[in-house]
Amino acid sequence: MKRLTKRLALATACVAVLAGSAVQVSAWGSTGHRLIGVAAMRALPETLPAFLRDPGNIADVGELSREPDRWKGAGQPHDRERDTAHFVDLDDNGHVMNAAGMSIDALPELKSEYDAQLLAAGIKVNDAGYLPYAIMDGWQQVVRDLAGWRVVYAMEQRETDPARRAWYREDRVRREALTLRDIGVLSHYVGDGSQPHHLSIHYNGWGPFPNPEGFTNSRQTHSLFEGAFTRRVARLDQVEAAMSAPATEPFQMKARVVGYMKSTLGTVIPFYRLEKAGVFVETDPRGAEFVNQRLSAGAAELRDMLVAAWAASGEASIGWPAVKVAEVEAGTADPWISMIGED
């Protein structure tokens, strides 16, 4: 009980600091990702499981939202494969890398097909990135997590055999920890998708491209924006205030991700115009507004994806042999063998 009380107190203090002052942590990989995870979880409706809205778990998701950045440095092939999940370099017309790459509207279903098409066009996947697939894969994993949770939660309430009920309770606890971790990973990639530099060939200064407006070519553009500046001006209360209204119906995952990518791509030139105007200083409110709006876009997208994942989990089948979640919840199917396994 003391441990729980301390954890809740820590979570409450963390949220209070985020809401009441500029966040004093490092980089978009910390400040921005924490804020996106926390804001999204705090905005979840009561129709979702209570463990997702627990203050301690919300704080955990904020921390776990940084996880893919903390994976870096493991060596090869781990780093090369995972580092390219954080971005997709689109040209000004929405093509991957250049006109030879496919349009963001024409992404194939599978990442292997994406890789093959880029290679056939003379584009290296390591250069292009594959953020849309990281988001789609992460969302589908959360759906599976929630489907498993639904089953063990339902059986924990209904099972009359003491040993089986104890196993369901233990597995529910495992499911909840796993779900929070996977939400954190999804949160990270959704957060990357709200940062203009992660969606553009102009990812660190305008680069070697036609530049009629004379945008900066500083190689510090990316890090200064998402790092020191965001650390100073990002605020949870402003992020939450700027979040759009929920929009989950109808929800088709690939189309949703494509639309999200295109929306962020549309902020690239506005960013460079603001940078040229010198607004990314603490004394100009336009810079802080841009940061908090971008973070709010990520938080709103994550919130909607989690609501949609919960809905999709109710229509799923889980375990082996597969059992329908809806039938377990209705009390018409016994998932014991499907969940615990039979050797």
Distance between CA 182 and CA 50 in Å, rounded? 17
Distance CA 93, CA 100 (A): 12
Per-residue pLDDT of the chain (343 residues; tens, 9 = 90+): 444 444 444 444 454 445 443 333 333 558 899 999 999 999 999 999 999 999 999 999 999 999 999 999 999 999 888 999 999 999 999 999 999 999 999 999 999 999 999 999 999 999 999 999 999 999 999 999 999 999 999 999 999 999 999 999 999 999 999 999 999 999 999 999 999 999 999 999 999 999 999 999 999 999 989 988 998 999 999 999 999 999 988 899 999 999 999 999 999 999 999 999 999 998 999 999 999 999 999 999 999 999 999 999 999 999 999 999 999 999 999 999 999 998 7
The whole-number pLDDT of residue 29 equals: 54
* pLDDT recorded at residue 16: 46
Burial class (CB in 10 A: 0-12, 13-18, 19+), 88: buried
Q: What pLDDT is recorded for position 18?
A: 52
Pairing label, strands 317-318, 323-324: antiparallel
Q: Report pLDDT for 210.
A: 97
Helices (H), ranges, the chain: 2-20, 31-42, 55-64, 67-70, 78-83, 111-120, 125-128, 131-158, 162-192, 221-224, 230-233, 236-242, 253-265, 268-276, 285-313, 325-330, 336-340
Q: Note the pLDDT of residue 10.
A: 44
pTM reported for the whole predicted model? 0.92
The CA-atom distances, in angstroms, between 25 and each of 195, 234, 235, 264, 290 are 18, 10, 12, 24, 19
* 112 contact partners, CB below 8 Å, separation of at least 6: none
DSSP notation for 47-67: TS-GGGG-HHHHHHHHHHTTH
Q: What is the pLDDT of residue 21?
A: 37
pLDDT at 71: 93
